Structure 1
Amino acid sequence: MKKFLLMIMLMAPLATFAQKFGKVNSQTIFSSLPEVAKANGEFQALQQQKRNELESMQNEFQRQLDTYQKGKSTMNQTQQEQKETELTNLSQKIQQASQDAQQELEKKQQELMQPIQTKIMNAISSVGKAGGYTFIFEEGSAPYMGTAVEDVTSKVQAEITKMK
């Protein structure tokens, strides 16, 4: 039993030499994909649409506010209170629409980017399995990477090209 443990302990350092490490720059891969440009275009179109909707609501609010301020002197107390309530409600509606738009934009961005991120992760996994890598790190994520770490970014890009 002691000889067996001794043999295992002597062999353990050899096992660490057999490990293969890689590094990848997923940002380089991400920015080179045509799907990213398409997703960004779609996102920017939605962002512009939401911006236009909010701007239209704000212009309407400003128009109603100006009308109220000009006609305030001719209104009785009840009419003034009613118009002020309308303006307050419209202001709250604009704030809610702004929050809803922000949430919708965040959801849309996640929806557009998730398949691309999944595609990159699948390609990294495929390269890792095919190349027999123990670990593939994101470039710059480890405080130190020695010379025994191979840059597999181009291999991952090639794998993504094969996936199409």
Structure 2
Amino acid sequence: MAQKASKFGHVNAAELINLMPERKVAMAKMDTVTKEMEKQLQEMAAEFRSKQEKYMAEAGKLTDVLKADKEVELQNLSTRIQNFQQQAEESLQAKQQELMDPIITKAKKAIEQVAKENNYTYIFDTSTGALLFWEESDNVINLVKKKLNLP
């Protein structure tokens, strides 16, 4: 029984995904969400600065009890800001994954379809940098772009 010859191909998946219009939409959504969070953070920072300046201006006139209350208030606000920053970073990472996962899945499916339709045994992703040599393989990006109706 004759063994089927392996046919190798490669594609730069990152380049392919960058060409997909869905990615541009996802990045625009990410930009909007990022700007909203930055605005909230700036508002919190402005509130902190305002309260800190007021405290510094009044510190000499305040009783020890009031000073302690104002210092606790400033510390609590500072902690809220730090917590918001951390939660915002986590939220942005989750949002990016939520937006990009369907796009990556669509690209992978198109690559798989091209591989099957053109009898490729393996398709390697050259964007990862893990593939060091690929002379004896075909670049299938144009086939995948055609499958996805990309220019």
TM-score calculated relative to the size of structure 2: 0.92
Bigger radius of gyration among the two: 1
Structure 1 residues 37-80: Cα deviation after superposition (integer angstroms, max 9, x where no partner): 11101100110110010010000000000000101111110000
Corresponding position of 1:95: 82
Report how many aligned residue pairs link the two structures: 148
User: Secondary structure, in 3 states, of the residue corresponding to 1:144?
Assistant: coil
- Is residue 92 of structure 2 the alignment partner of residue 105 of structure 1? yes
Corresponding position of 1:160: 148
Structure ranking higher in helix proportion:
1
Corresponding position of 2:125: 138
1:161 partner amino acid: N
Give 1:44's match in structure 2, choosing from 18, 31, 37: 31
Give 2:61's match in structure 1, choosing from 53, 56, 74: 74
Q: Percent identity?
A: 32
User: Secondary structure, in 3 states, of the residue corresponding to 1:98?
Assistant: helix
Corresponding position of 1:28: 15
Runs of 4 or more off by more than 3 Å in structure 1?
none
State the shift of 1:32 in Å. 1.0
Structure 2 gaps, min length 5: none
Structure 1 gaps, min length 5: 1-7
2:31 partner amino acid: Q
Alignment RMSD, CA only?
Answer: 1.5
1:79 partner amino acid: L
